[in-house]
Structure 1
Amino acid sequence: MDTTLQDPLVGQVLDGRYRVDARIAVGGMATVYRALDTRLDRVLALKVMHPALAADGTFVERFIREAKSVARLSHPNVVQVFDQGTDGSYVYLAMEYVAGCTLRDVLRERGALQPRAALDILEPVLAALGAAHRAGFVHRDMKPENVLIGDDGRVKVADFGLVRSVNTVTSTTGAVLGTVSYLSPEQIDQPGTADARVDVYACGVVLYEMLTGSQPHEGDSPAIVLYKHLHEDVPPPSARVPGLPYELDELVASATARTPDLRPYDAVALLAQTREARGRLSPDQLDAEPPQALTTQYGGAENRTSVIPRSLTSPLPGSAHAGGSPARLLPVDGDEPEQGYHRTSVLQSPPLPPSRRERSSGRPRRGPLLIVAAVLLALGLGAGVWYINSGQFTHVPALLAKTEAQARDRLDQAGLETGKVTYDYSDTVKRGTVISTDPGVGSRIRNHDSVSITVSRGPQTVKVPDVEGWSLGKARARLKSEDLEPGMVTREFSDDVPKGFVISTAPGSGTTLRAGAAIALTVSKGAPVDVPDVSGEDLADAKADLAEAGLKVEVATTRVNSEFDAGQVAKQTPAADSQAAEGDTVTLTVSKGPVMVEVPDVTGDSVDDAKSELEDAGFQVDEDRGLLGLFGDTVKKQSVEGGDTAPKGSTITITIR
């Protein structure tokens, strides 16, 4: 049976705009649907919080705040957030719809990936996380399920914002086992204190899984997996896939160090290490097929190869890694592919022409002379090739991450001169070590030519300016002028700082940071206002009371049954006696009157039977015994006659004699 047919949201239109067409996935906190934005006529993904979480006002408030912040993240590898809203009990996010599959689907169907494919997926993931880290966000739930691979080959990271609002694992069964496999030791040991390095750890685990086809720590229960993350190092991938280069072992070990201080400090730093490791690998090492790769192909209409990025293919000569266009995987013509896909050859040569028949025996034979000439020609060509390839040229040695002195020595040993030495800031390369060379490492170069090197000055540092008391717009502009990024904005009540002005920054003013670091801002909501209780008031009176308190009013489009008469206020949000900022909006829901229920006739019944029947019908019961009914047990009269209607929840008085 199609489970989407049982989903009450499928077919509905949220907020009069988003038509829910199909359910895509169900998670621990939300359900994701494919929907159509009827206003802009575009397909998008709608993430709707589970009703149990949507009833938690604190959770919803943080969810909305984080969604707004993440919506400002503009990065090609981040799933974009378009809109956020509430429709009745549904709290939702409208997000970019990525047609394709997840990395989990790829791993499930392909097993281990070639190193090139794994790095081609990891690099855009790190680019997305790096943008988030520099903006002050931590994902906290990186795993293959949150890496989307589109039909067009783009890699995108999903579930920013929502995961930041959840600091603990609330279950230890089912899908949670897949999540605990990517938790860093500090998330387990000190929940709620995680920083960008927890995402670095998770990415190291994901890389291990892509290279080996399995997770580094496995167990029969989440508790066993958690224990291993706390007390055991992630093993080198080459222990499971013999022959993997040590550069990949080093990359995984660096990212998954159990001590956070030993890891790269954020995804940008890990991305730099990843690119450096890739640069040290040969094409044969990048394209090596791991034995754990599944040989079973996936034919049929749902063939997954169409949703794997082109970069997962090993570049042919002239491919993207060599400066040309990437090689493509094409379906085999005719029958279903036995191996799924094959490469189109760009190096096929025309067949050689058939050799000519030997001349007639009547002509003089020149065979010995031709053999001698051919030998001399081969020797001459060989000497020429040796002179061109070996005697005159060499390659730029590996200099990256070497000190300036080490780089000069290695160039001298290679028979090359040290050219121009320049110095530049770097967030990812240690001070005093080589950032880059010109020509690049591995490039072919004439003997005794010079190689220019760029040496790191370390990260560029700036001091956080004092923007307390500044308007939010001016504070953001000042931070950007100092090469800092305005980060997350939180709002608090303040009796001293006017609404919309900065109360404080984190880190505080005067702190020395790397350029590009994100600064969190706390902005004033203004002085708090006590929200008056207007429940049961006529709508006009309620509006006047709220306006007098300095609050704005919004009337909900839907009306509800309540104990109050039609036209009176049934409920208000925020609730009475809570605090709001001056100018905040209070939403009023108007009553359409109580639900009228037929009153059962209980005259002549025993007191217990009468009370049970009235309460089952939705009424409260009051007993009137008087002096004559102190010892009676029979209902002689009821305040509302049987068969008449009364508001549900109202009180029916029974007279006992």
Structure 2
Amino acid sequence: MNAYTRGVSSPAVPDLVGEVLDGRYEVLEHLADGGMAIVYRALDLRLHREVALKVLRPHLVHDDEFVRRFEREARSAAGLQHPHIVGVLDYGSDNGHLFIAMEYVAGRTLRQVLEDEGSLTPRAALDILDPTLDALAHAHRAGLIHRDVKPENVLLRDDGVVKVADFGLVRAVTSQTVTSSSQVLLGTVAYVSPEQVGRGIADARSDVYAAGLILFEMLTGEKAFSGDLPVNVAFQHVHEDVPKVSSKVAGTPKVLDEIVSAAGARDPDLRPTDAAEFRSLLAGARSRLSDQQLDRRLGTAHTGTDGSGRSAAALSAATAPLPVPSSDVATTTLPTATPQPALPPVRTAYPVKRKRKAWPWVLVALSAALLAATVWVFTKGPLTPTPVPKVEGLELAAAQKLLTSVGLASSTQQAFSEDAAAGIVISSDPRAGTTIRKSQTVGLIVSKGPERYAVPPLANLSVDQALAALKEARLSSGRQSQEFSETVTQGAIISVDPAEGTPLPPGGAVNLVISKGRQPIAVTNVEGKSLADAKSTLEGAGLVVAVGSEENSDTVPKGNVISQTPPGGQLFKGDTVTVVVSKGPVLVAVPDVVGNQVGAATATLEAAGLRVKVQKLLPGINFGTVQSTDPAAGTQIPKGSTVTLKTV
């Protein structure tokens, strides 16, 4: 079962199931029908999530007043961000259909729970009412009232989270709003406050009254007031006190009677001032109840009735809209009770002297005075018809001064505007030229300036985290590119364009530069090159050269690179290549063999690792005695070099 109440009327035509609105919302299922709109379950094709789609009834699309109210609902409700309020995600129009996209809540309404279970335990009732009041308190702090608090608008998500839905009648608290000009009293009659019925006004205390009646119904399984006609129910709100819970269920703790009576007081001045104060009283009441009292069900379960056996007609009347006078009348009047036959005059035991009656003249005087007062009220007094002046484009102070000058009050609500500077009036309700009574309130929509959202900090976040942050900031991802980075992990954000903190309109695109990680560097082989050349090559590529050791080499000249580690492959910037540098070949000193015979001298030189060559100075006569060596004795020469022996 979905969380939106099923309407008692048949689905509106045309049926939108299967259509796609605004190229984005695919309508999947009809959920409910309301006085102003039809609710569907739809799929957001862009974000691939389910939403509840509230579509204005077709015959109201051409009614400017209803359209303005519908748009006000979207703007007001969209500003209410709270875990216990059903969020408004989007609104727009498509082919004559005006719609609002809202959070889809899977679960049941409190009405469905009460129909299934009858009364609830005090613990369950308080557990449901506390987050409901938390949501209403958030709205009251924002200067808004719900005006239609009822079990059908309290949603219990499948995981137990409580959500308040359908801020469709929300208005600014400061405006002391009156009944709608649509001939229907805004608010369901079973929960409407006495001041809404009797005077056509509502404030935060009206929401408190409705919440108190919901608490009564959760505890008893019955509505506080019922009747065969809506007007009968409304009459009871004005002229009767809300029954005590104990009058329906014996053994009710006194503190529960007290809390229901406080919220349901007929005089709004005797109620908690708003939902926050009521919630505080509720917490105090709960602390005075034992676990046994909290878990004892006061009423009984029921099927098909409200627990008191009342007829379906009575229940239907208690949840029907209440007719009200035309929009020209500022307050709501109720029909008086059927006149009863006059009682016979009381006869006294003593005769009374009859005097000439003066009452006809008094009646004439009173009638004349009443006529004069009526003429004054409707021609010069507070009910004088007055056209609403044009205030669009004026600064707020100037607009308020103009309205005051013609005897009209004003209330304000802020909205973003791409065209009007902050503080400028965008529109009025009623519109300029509309004739209303003096002292009535004109609602002013005042510009907050262009709607802008700052680019959030995204550096070093993963792509998924960055996209989530952009979505939360009501922005979108633009072009994505990749670059190497020595400092940012692969797959994380290096930079954004526009820069962090730049204000952008809703949905503004932010370009992302994503790290490919460190850039690999090909290692050049520098074996055989001089150390200076090797360093120049490797360090120029961003690598570090370290001399591991120096070794003798018969093949690599001194100062050149014998070997390197690694010999090739890839490294990253700052990585080290270790080289072994040649000290040249091993040197040995030429032994002193002068005066030795050739044989002995040769043995000595070869033992030193040298080669021997013999040169006879006197070829004819030669005794084989070494006269000198080349190189001379003591000279340092590479091992393996040749020494020439000169003999005589």
Please, what TM-score do these two structures have when normalized by structure 2? 0.45
Between structure 1 and structure 2, the one with the greater Rg is: 2
Please, what TM-score do these two structures have when normalized by structure 1? 0.45
